[in-house]
Structure 1
Amino acid sequence: MRKPKLIISKCLNSEKCRYNGQAYDDKVISLLRKYVDLETVCPETEIGLKVPRNPIRIEKYDNKYKLVEPSDNIDYTSQMMEFAEEFLSNIDDVDGFILKSKSPSCGIRDVKVYPKNQKCSINKKGQGIFSSKIIEKYSTIPIEDEGRLKNYNIRDEFLTKIFTINNLKCENSIWDFHNKNSLLLKSYNEDIYNDLNIIV
């Protein structure tokens, strides 16, 4: 039977690709490995950054956000955007993403944003350059970071969604899927469930 397919940040899979060369073994991903198909990606090494490397960060230039290496004043924004578009264009099928929190490339909501050439971050937090393209293209499927998945309720909802999406793809018909998952669908929103029931 088909397993859900997840794309995850490579550093969450015990691979030493972080800027400081350290590995990170995420517990949720470790437990998921035998139940899902994993594809890993490190956008920073894919655009040619070495391990270890100088830290990069998001800087705000007027109304634009750039991915820069402040120590050498190098702008990687265009390279990251090009890689993101190429990578996402080659994805055939995916059920969800787990990305590295706070990362200037992969963070989905808690990335520090700095004023141009300043040492202190501003109050507003944003998205990574790579993850922003994922969110733009895949707004209808589950996208989370490993930090938020430590919360039981968030983790439970994420897992429910990826396995429900997978079940839908595995069923022979919408009718079969609707009947087998009727209680689950009803528990989320009874009004929408009733509308679906009429349609099906």
Structure 2
Amino acid sequence: MTIKVGISACVLGDKVRFDGGHKASAFCTSVLSDHVQYIPVCPEVAIGMPVPRPAIRLQLDHQEQVHLVRSKEPSIDHTQKMQTFIEQKLPQLTALSGYIVCAKSPSCGMERVRLFDANGHQLGKIGVGMYTKALMQRYPWLPVEEDGRLFDAELKENFITRLFACHDYQQTMLDGFTVGKLVKFHTKYKFLVLAHHPVAYRELGRLVAQAKLFSAKELELRYLTDFMNALKKLSSRKNHTNVLQHLQGFLKHVLNEQAKKELSETITKYRLGYVPLLAPITLLKHYLTLHPNQYLLEQRYFDPYPESLGLRA
């Protein structure tokens, strides 16, 4: 049941960067490490580049093709070696549930990597690291995030939500995909998807309802990709309030007036920003222990990841 996460080796603290240093992430090494097994990769070292080494960059040729070249000597081109490594490495990563890459790296950056034209003039931070671009193209459903963006609490919580959801899906389909498993999985993620992307919530529902129109392979890829893309959209206070009110409706016939008032007031306080999301969720979970509802108890919305990560506090 180990959750496998790919990660740039420098983010784990390995001194493999071009300057001989690292970019160790405290969150990755001290918090998330208790819940996952890392698969460290440094594409640049993997293709034989030394540590330390001359800096490299992404540069277009005159046909607008991207190359990985030495910054001060563009004639030294590492593109073919990197492409060969990519072709060998990516097929080995099918078991991953997520990937954390090093920001701004010409090999690993997820976005905003400096790109240069054929004459060496900077075009702006519009590139994607060569290795990570290929990774995201091959596995469009895979949660990928940069180390620097994990400093943002909202982005971090979003990535972790996607990571654990992806792993849950993989475990559900471990011994083969079936429509029955898909329906069960989709059912327990309904409210979590609704909190992130109401439009995708409806579209995924229609996709599952029309399952017989697709081949199993097509349905699985389409659902997983759309599901993960839906969770990629940041949840909002408005959407969470909508979900909380939906959940409240399931309990309206079992709660007394005082309990209904307390729950409504707590949801309102959350909507207005006076209390964190954890407050109404904790109260809902309390009422569910008193008045069990199997459908609600199975909803991953309440616990999308281990509580010990403290991301909803």
Whether the aligned pair in 1 keeps the contact of 2:3 and 2:167 (CA below 8 Å) is yes
- After superposition, where does 1:1-200 map in structure 2 within 5 Å? 2-30=1-29, 31-62=31-62, 63-72=64-73, 73-118=75-120, 120-171=121-172, 173-188=181-196, 189=198, 190-192=201-203, 194-195=205-206, 198=209
Number of equivalences: 198
CA RMSD of aligned residues (A): 2.1
8 Å contact 2:136–2:142 — kept in the other structure?
no
What TM-score does the superposition give when structure 1 sets the normalisation length?
A: 0.89
Query: Do the aligned residues in 1 keep the contact of 2:183 with 2:208 (CA within 8 Å)?
Result: no
Per-residue displacement from partner, 1:35-62 (whole Å, max 9, x unpaired)?
1111000000011000011101111112
Q: Cα deviations across residues 112-162 of structure 1 (Å, max 9, x unaligned)? A: 0123353x5223520111111111101122111112222222211111111
Q: Report if aligned partners of 2:114, 2:126 keep a CA contact under 8 Å in 1.
A: yes
CA contact (8 A) 1:186 1:193 kept: no
When residues 131 and 193 of structure 1 are mapped into structure 2, their CA distance, relative to the original with a 3 A threshold, is closer
Aligned-partner Cα distance in 2 for 1:116–1:191: 46
Partner of residue 293, structure 2: none
Higher mean C-alpha deviation, range 185-194 or range 22-31 = 185-194
Using the alignment, how far apart are the partners of 2:3 and 2:143 within structure 1? 12
In structure 1, stretches of 5+ residues that fail to align are none
SS at match of 2:39: strand
**Which structure ranks higher in relative contact order (CA pairs < 8 Å, sequence separation ≥ 6)?**
1
Unaligned runs of at least 5 residues, structure 2: 174-180, 212-313
Distance 1:25 1:68 in 2: 25
> Higher strand fraction: Structure 1 or Structure 2?
1
Distance (whole Å) between structure 1 residues aligned to residue 192 and residue 70 of structure 2:
47
Q: How far off its partner does 1:24 sit?
A: 2.1
SS in 2 for 1:40: strand
Using the TM superposition, give the Cα deviation of residue 194 of structure 1 relative to its aligned residue in structure 2, in angstroms. Answer: 4.1
The residue type paired with residue 202 of structure 2 is D
Contact 1:7 1:97 in 2 (8 A): yes
Per-residue displacement from partner, 1:165-184 (whole Å, max 9, x unpaired)?
A: 11223337334433433321
TM-score by length of structure 2 reads 0.58
Q: Of the two, which has the highest radius of gyration?
A: 2
